[in-house]
């Protein structure tokens, strides 16, 4: 596996794939890799003969009071995992390479970026869309893979890709979970033992709400019960909501729907989501 930090070197390596007629699958990450990321890599290997994984802790998607400084960074261990998984290129640019002096462009996806996490983290999805747009331009993938755990991010990227007529297939990969149901996340490392034990209330609350909605309970009642369950477990809830899976607006019966939640336990903010049949 090549570890590349300069754009001109990346383009040279990718040019060799192009000459050989080999397409590329891209897995964008911020590092601190876990089994969820490796599921993306496995899916990428089934989609294209060449796989590029990026590791870039993107400062543009962190707010002023968020965890940019302490976000876990362990490139050596990540690189070992990727090499063993058969990745061809680890693209790991420095901030100055991604955003050189004079960089002035911002990609903003209206509507789907403005609600839920967008409302609680202003500017976050502009940072996501900008860096993903840059990665698509740098790597030129035929397909890019993203985890469904960050479901709103996936919706934003799909909207951006469609609106800009980008020739990249966007693939969502199902959320990977611990045995007790907690969604895998690089931020789980922040949880102490007590918080980790209580954190399982998040997927359980969503599961209870899903079952209630699918058996015909009033969605508002099911969502309120989920918030109450999280509160009892020690969470401070930002939102638990049911939305249309494509537009993130009010759900319409007969269309794919999604339950999404964000809540903080201690100093750690966790997100999760599950699909719901809303007939």
Segment 93-102 shows an average pLDDT of: 98
Nearest Cα to Cα of residue 170 among 37, 41, 26? 26
Pick the CATH number of 186-276 from 2.40.50.140, 3.30.1300.10, 3.30.43.10, 3.30.1330.10: 3.30.1300.10
Whether the pLDDT of residue 65 is over 90: the answer is no
85 in Cβ contact with 92 (< 8 Å): no
Q: Provide the mean pLDDT of the chain.
A: 97
Predicted local confidence at residue 186, as pLDDT: 94
Instruction: In whole angstroms, give the CA distance from residue 209 to residue 219.
Output: 8
| 14-23 per-position pLDDT tens digit | 999 999 999 9
| 257-267 per-position pLDDT tens digit | 999 999 999 99
235 in Cβ contact with 114 (< 8 Å): no
Instruction: In whole angstroms, give the CA distance from residue 151 to residue 128.
Output: 13
182 in Cβ contact with 156 (< 8 Å): no
What does the buried/exposed string (b/e) look like for 211-229 if buried means 16 or more CB atoms within 10 Å of the residue's CB? ebbeeeeebeebbebbbeb
Segment 188-211 shows an average pLDDT of: 98
The architecture CATH gives domain 2-173 = 3-Layer(aba) Sandwich (3.40)
Integer Rg of the chain from CA: 19
| 103-145 per-position pLDDT tens digit | 999 999 999 999 999 999 999 999 999 999 999 999 999 999 9
The residues annotated as belonging to the active site are 37
Segment 195-218 shows an average pLDDT of: 98
Predicted local confidence at residue 218, as pLDDT: 97
263 in Cβ contact with 237 (< 8 Å): yes
| 212-242 per-position pLDDT tens digit | 999 999 999 999 999 999 999 999 999 999 9
Whether the pLDDT of residue 81 is over 90: the answer is yes
| 136-172 per-position pLDDT tens digit | 999 999 999 999 999 999 999 999 999 999 999 999 9
Please report, for residues 155, 164, 175, 200, 234, the alpha-carbon distance to residue 151 in angstroms, rounded to integers and kept in the order given: 6, 20, 9, 19, 24
CB count, 10 Å around CB of 136? 20
Whose tokens are 């996936």? That residue is 154
The domain ranges of the chain are: 2-173, 186-276
């Amino acid at each position: 596996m090549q570890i590349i930090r300069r754009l001109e070197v990346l383009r040279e390596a990718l040019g060799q794939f192009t000459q050989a007629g080999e397409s590329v699958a891209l897995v964008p990450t911020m590092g601190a890799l876990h089994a969820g990321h490796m599921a993306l890599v496995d899916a990428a290997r089934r989609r294209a003969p060449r796989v590029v994984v990026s590791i870039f802790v993107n400062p543009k998607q962190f707010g002023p009071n968020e965890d940019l400084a302490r976000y876990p960074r362990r490139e050596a261990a990540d690189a070992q995992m990727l090499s063993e998984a058969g990745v061809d290129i680890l693209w790991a640019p420095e901030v100055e390479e991604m955003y050189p002096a004079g960089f002035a462009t911002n990609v903003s996806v209206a509507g789907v970026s403005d609600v839920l996490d967008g409302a609680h983290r202003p500017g976050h999805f502009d940072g996501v869309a900008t860096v993903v747009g840059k990665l698509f331009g740098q790597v030129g993938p035929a397909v890019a893979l993203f985890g469904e755990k960050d479901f709103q991010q996936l919706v934003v990227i799909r909207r951006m890709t469609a609106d800009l007529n980008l020739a990249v297939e966007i693939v969502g990969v199902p959320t990977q979970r611990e045995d007790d149901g907690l969604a895998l996340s690089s931020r789980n490392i922040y949880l102490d033992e007590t918080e980790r034990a209580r954190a399982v209330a998040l997927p359980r609350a969503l599961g209870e709400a899903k079952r209630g909605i699918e058996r015909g309970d009033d969605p508002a009642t099911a969502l309120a019960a989920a918030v109450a369950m999280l509160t009892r477990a020690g969470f401070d809830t930002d939102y638990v909501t049911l939305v249309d899976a494509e537009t993130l607006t009010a759900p319409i019966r007969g269309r794919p729907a999604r339950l999404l939640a964000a809540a903080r336990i201690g100093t750690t903010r966790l997100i999760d989501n599950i699909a719901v049949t809303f007939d």
